[in-house]
Structure 1
Amino acid sequence: MKIKSWLGVIATVVVAIGSMTSAVFAEERGFTLKAKPRIAMIMFADKKDGGWTQAFEEARVRMEKALDLKIAYVENVPENAAAITPPVERFIKAGYNIIIGTAFGYSDTFLTLSKKYPDVAFLNASGTTNGPNLQSFYGRTYASQYLCGMVAGAMTKTGKLGFVGANPFGVVIWTVNGFEMGARLMKPDVTTTVIYTGAWNDPVKERAAAQALMDGGADIIGQHVDTPTPQIVAQERKGFGTGHHRDLSEFASKATVCSSIWFWDRYLTPEIKKIIAGNWKPNPHGAFPSVKDGPTDIAINKKLVPEDVVKKVMAERQALIDGKEIYAGPLKSADGKDVITDGKVLDDGSLWKMDWYVPGVIAQR
């Protein structure tokens, strides 16, 4: 009996070790599709919105060619679970096994869906949730906005810049700060006044904000909202503007001096190739690629921007590619607090949580 008992114990231990080993190996192996890849994209707004969503639509078309795969899509999906879940589940039931989301507000729902469908790979732009088959991604837009700020700082005559922002979230605040820091590199006493509309896509509020900023003396308007309205207002008022998401000189060729732009396919194409290859391992903290990696960059309107300014901006762009850090100490906030000590660089967690402004930023809610 004792021998049999010990044999039972040994067998149990072996099985347990085998299970643990399998779990470890599974974790090491990462995520692998169980069928041929079929890709679908869930779009937050209209694919021709002129900004954020259109940048994804343009990337989708390029990705189809690069991957030699058709990418299905659905437009105008709001940021709530009741709206997100049905189209995603319809795609999954139809055999789609790579789902790409395009909104911050999809984060929690995508996490829930990724747990419900562990054999499906999920990617979500500007998201905050991650898992074994889910990776959120975003770009370091403070870098491209920093470069746009350089253009604005070089070209302002009043020394007053305006900025139309959607919401005072970390990903918007860091663009405002980056914009002002770039501007001060060219004009040390320049200021940036920011007005938040409370919405990513609201042309009426964006128009009112841009007009108020220009009434207050701003001669160049930056933005982190989804439509080209601030650029259109700048052109109507015979000022200048810097766009976001896409090259917005398409809408205001006499005003838009540069734009912070997205090339999402530069990130998504190689990432999807990793998923297709198998053993995909999402970053547990999400992907946060830079100008060097390609998804965020600057487009300069060389018809409006002097050649010497273009050269300075492109030299700074190369410095960023070579490893220069924008949020490096010593750096104080607008209220005089030490936010980055000498020799330190702001870590990614602190970037996401940014709730302070650099000197020269005037925030209006």
Structure 2
Amino acid sequence: MLRKLLTGIVFSAGAALASNVALADGFTLKDKPKIAMLDFGPKNDGGWGQSFDEARQKMEAALGQKIMFVESIPEDASAIDPVVERFISRGANIIIGTAFGYSDAFKALAAKHPDVAFLNGSGTTNASNLESFYGRTYESQYLCGMAAASVSKTGKLGFVAANPFGVVNWTINAYELGARKINPNATLTVVYTGAWNDPVKERAAAMALIDHGADVIGQHVDTPTPQVVAQERGVYGTGHHRDLSEFAPKATVCSSVWVWDKFLVPEIKKIEAGNWKPSPYGAFIEMKDGGTDISPLGAAVPEDKKKLILAERDAILHGKQIYAGPLSDRDGKLRVPAGQVLSDADLWKMDWFVTGVITQK
């Protein structure tokens, strides 16, 4: 989702988030956990919002309790505050948000309700009872890039992206690095739509990429439109947020999918256990801890390539770093020296591209 995300994302600055965090004593609930969730989007949006709703249902089964839930809550304190206050009045003591734009409201609410734990997906604020979290999507998009190159006949890949922010650029670069693991000559042409959710612009971008020779379409936008266009035009694609083969079963060969429950269930159990100490910089979740993963690979991916992709997935689960040096950008500038790994701060502010990525001028 990450709608307005990252006009100077605070995660990258790190220390700026620590000022309101007290780590001397951990947070402990006074009563048994009672959970509520606010979803930014509709629960059936096919993307970001639905990924959280599906996680909620899995969490209910894993935690043995119903989770109070409301959908389509806009990123405005005047909408957020009354909903949270109502949940708290009904006994909720763990509140889960799902939007960057909830960040300031959640910070204020956490200060007002020090006995309540707050978690916020794609947020940027943290406190002794508030933790924002987001996944390292470049890990799963790297694998999607491998799948894309595995089914491409031309080595010309296309990518429909929302905005040139760090969290989008890191998926683009990882996608190309994955593609080049399969085909060292693969290229990735990117079109930015300037919007997280604009099916009209996404359709136009996907059509243009295919018209210029791309035979696989990747994406970091909220709707399944690029996959739908890929299927209409007889090419392949890879999805984002959820398994988008639901919308384009013939085209979609891989999707980067959120697996929020794999992070939230253990995190809620930590809160329940007491002495919970949120990260002062938020939780930046690796694949092994439940950030993102990939959907089952499509039938079009050759079996030998599936084995390679799954081997790389296993390597990531065991610590493989996508942005390990030596790594230079497409202009030849060394970005990561040999023996080093790109820092989280540099990931968040990524404004450069690896060899093979072609962007708009």
Kindly report which structure 2 residues correspond to 1:1-365, keeping only aligned pairs within 5 A, or say none: 27-364=23-360
Distance of 2:66 and 2:216 partners within structure 1: 41
Matched pairs, number: 340
Residues 312-359 of structure 1, C-alpha deviations (whole Å, 9 max, x = no match): 100111111221111011111122222111111011121112121111
Distance of 1:333 and 1:82 partners within structure 2: 44
Distance of 2:196 and 2:39 partners within structure 1: 14
Preserved CA contact (<8 Å) 1:249 1:301: no
Residue type matched to 1:127 in 2?
Answer: G
Task: Choose between structure 1 and 2 for higher RCO, CA contacts under 8 A separated by at least 6 residues.
Answer: 2
Kindly tell me: are residues 90 and 278 of structure 1, through their superposed partners in 2, closer, same or farther at Cα, counting changes over 3 Å? same
Structure with max Cα Rg: 1
Corresponding residue SS for 2:202 = helix
Distance of 2:201 and 2:68 partners within structure 1: 32
Preserved CA contact (<8 Å) 1:42 1:75: yes
* TM superposition score normalised by structure 1: 0.89
Name the % identity. 67
Distance of 1:167 and 1:108 partners within structure 2: 22
Residues 274-328 of structure 1, C-alpha deviations (whole Å, 9 max, x = no match): 1111111001111122122233111133422111110010011111122111101
Q: CA deviation at 1:28?
A: 4.0
Preserved CA contact (<8 Å) 1:52 1:245: yes
Distance of 2:28 and 2:346 partners within structure 1: 32
Unaligned runs of 5+ in 1: 1-25
Residue type matched to 2:142 in 1?
Answer: Y
Q: CA deviation at 1:206?
A: 1.4
Distance of 2:298 and 2:89 partners within structure 1: 49
Distance of 1:179 and 1:27 partners within structure 2: 37
* TM superposition score normalised by structure 2: 0.90
Q: CA deviation at 1:27?
A: 4.5
Distance of 1:129 and 1:313 partners within structure 2: 35
Tell me whether 248-257 or 329-338 shows the greater mean CA deviation. Answer: 329-338
Q: CA RMSD in A?
A: 1.5
Preserved CA contact (<8 Å) 1:138 1:289: yes
